[in-house]
Chains A and B, each alone.
Chain A
Amino acid sequence: MFANRREMIALMTAAGGMAGLPGPARAEPGDPVFEAFEAARPEQPWTLGYADAPAAGLDGVAQRLTGRLPEGLEGVLYRNGPGRFSRENWRYRHWFDGDGLVQSWHLEAGEAPVHAARFVETRKWRREEAAGRFLVPAFGSAPPDEEGLSGPDGMNAANTSVMMLDGDLLALWEGGSAWQLDPDTLQSDGPRVWGDGLAGLPFSAHPKVDPDGTVWNFGQDAARNALVLWQIAPDGSLRRADMVGDVPGGMIHDFAVTERSLVFLVGNLRFERMRLPYLESFRWDGSRPMRAIAIDKADWSQRRTWDLPPGFLFHVGGAWERTDGTICLDAAMSGDARFAIGGAYDVMRGVAREETVSQARLHRLVLYPGGRSEQSVFDDGYAEFPQVDMRLTGLERRYTWHVGWQPGQIQGPTDIVRRDLVSGATQRFSHDADVIVEEPLFVPAGPAEGEGWLVHTALNTRAAATELHVLDARNVGDGPVASWRLPYACPLGFHGCWRPA
């Protein structure tokens, strides 16, 4: 990462002198990152996915391209992702810094999908919107004249995912509070406080829901090698929250649950010492193994651990546990963290490039009792945003759906893929090369695993518009059964959830 970061600084310096580097000086006219991005836009249509959305949000109706809304697929698709990257002609350095833009797609039989997008009105958003400039250090950026931070929630961008919990819509981030929104209007209420002594604690963007409705989540305190673990009842009330120590401070974005265990993979982007922007607290350390930790759901003091080859991941597909305690798991893993600490900076300057070892591929892990493990990779393309039939969370299953792309596709994923974890076989649908696909969310229809629909958005960079596609999750290769297109483009998002009608 050092080479990459140096390279970035060197480029920024060459482009506009030192004025744009994070530091105490106010941005002079000509922030090099802002200018590089603006200069790239006419030639690089993919940059639309990283451009600012209007502060007031977006409202529109999608026009039908093909097909019909399948019978029974009625409800709302919510999605979240970074949507505001620049203020006062100064642009964030890292993609993950952008303020959360929550989108809703209302799907109703016989009607065109109605789309809305609103920024999550975090304290950060309200204060910066009023000031007209960025005020606080973000995850990966230090804006000019930033004020410092009173705590992690001070930079909460609420930009990573969404979940429905007993009728409430929560916008999720990794390092702070979940933010409550009105599911109908997308108006923000404020941070969710789960109980006494729990205000402002991190509630990650990847909660897992057991088949009985129990919600599990975690938050990381990387500086102290600790996690906070959350167990929430289906009605949204707290069952338990507590700290668990001795979890190495490798950045943890996602986890898995089995019937018995909470499973964490601690990659090799390790916390070194506290720096702001926060991402710079982490350094790649390939000298140690990746650590897998399975914590007993019933007794958080009980754990099993495994040492794995060094690596990095954002997302886990799912996991299950055999009667002998063996844990099977799939995850989108890469050999290093150069997307998180390289590529996600590059896109903010309007630069896309491919670092083969840094792209994630779907891996299978088997963690045996006693510390032995096996790992294999599906080596037929890149994979991200793995999704499962969520009715089988924590249970043995066969399929993972994900976005896919091939070496050479520097602008990102074009494919929707269904992976058979047992045979390794895939079904794959490739959109046009101008289309950047986003997370395919599984919506159940029939009782069997995978019997349902995949709903996914995509940015059509040629049409400069965001699209919505529905595929039969059992016949992904056939392509969309229905597609619509908005009259505008939305920034690329991360994760979504489905609220049935």
Chain B
Amino acid sequence: MILPAFILSAVLSSAMADGTASITVTVDGIEIGSGHLVVGLYDSAEGWDGETAIDGRRVAVTGDVAEIEFGPLPAGRYGIKMYHDVDDDGQLDTNLMGIPSEPFAFSNNAMGRFGPAAWPDASFAVDAGENAHAMSFR
């Protein structure tokens, strides 16, 4: 999910000309104070549905809130998928029926319908400059 930094900088150099954007994601509702948050950033419906993130973070959990920075990025529409890897095994644990058993969330705090949230519900506009986006586990 995490692209090498040099590819990102190459991709982004063209966007710099149009002005760059950044996203500060604040996360609350973290119930267990250990493990890592695994966060993926997406810039299209195809990428969202096809699980091809343009950037990703693995952030150690130190409390019930966290902050994650993305950028520089071109302005546009973005979506975020996130789960809490409570047991640090590097994957979203699921039960026998395939239902996630670790906390997860989508941008806009969009919820799925017995599945992942859809891109139209989870994507949000990112303008040039600094952008804030709040997410919550629940």
Contact residues, A231-252 vs B (CB, 8 A): 241-243
Q: Which of these, B99, B109, B110, B121, contacts A151 with CB under 8 Å?
A: B99
| Binary per-residue interface labels of chain B (44-88) against chain A in the complex, 1 for a CB within 8 Å, 0 otherwise | 000000000000000000000000000000000000000000000
A276 at the interface (CB under 8 A from B): yes
Contacts of A224 in B (CB 8 A): 97
Which of the 9-residue segments A107-115, A198-206, A455-463, A473-481 touches chain B? Answer: A198-206
Contact with B along A420-442 (1 / 0, CB 8 A): 00000000000000000000000
**A380 beta carbon closer than 8 Å to chain B:** no
| Binding site secondary structure of chain B | loop
Q: Which residue of A lies closest to B121 (CB)?
A: A148
| Selected contact of B114 from candidates A151, A199, A228, A242, CB within 8 Å | A151
Contact code string A94-124 (vs B, CB < 8 Å = 1, else 0): 0000000000000000000000000000010
Q: Pick the contact of A228 from B94, B96, B111 — CB < 8 Å?
A: B96
Q: Is A221 located at the chain interface by the 8 A CB criterion?
A: yes
Q: Counting CB contacts under 8 A, is A88 at the interface?
A: no
Provide the bound-state CA to CA distance between A221 and B94, in Å: 15
A151 to B99, CA, bound (A): 7
Which B residues, 82 to 138, have Cβ-Cβ distances below 8 Å to chain A? 93-97, 99-101, 104, 109-114, 117, 121, 138
For the A-B complex with A150-B100, A200-B95 known, give 13 more contacts whose Cβ atoms are closer than 8 Å.
A123-B138, A147-B109, A148-B113, A150-B111, A151-B114, A152-B99, A197-B96, A198-B95, A200-B99, A200-B101, A201-B99, A226-B97, A243-B96
Q: Which are the 6 A-B pairs with shortest beta-carbon distances?
A: A148-B111, A199-B101, A151-B99, A147-B111, A201-B95, A221-B97
- Identify 23 residue pairs between A and B in the complex whose beta-carbon atoms are under 8 Å apart, listed by A's number: A127-B138, A148-B110, A148-B112, A148-B113, A148-B121, A149-B112, A149-B114, A150-B100, A150-B111, A151-B100, A151-B114, A152-B99, A152-B114, A197-B93, A197-B95, A198-B96, A199-B95, A200-B101, A228-B97, A242-B96, A243-B96, A274-B113, A274-B114
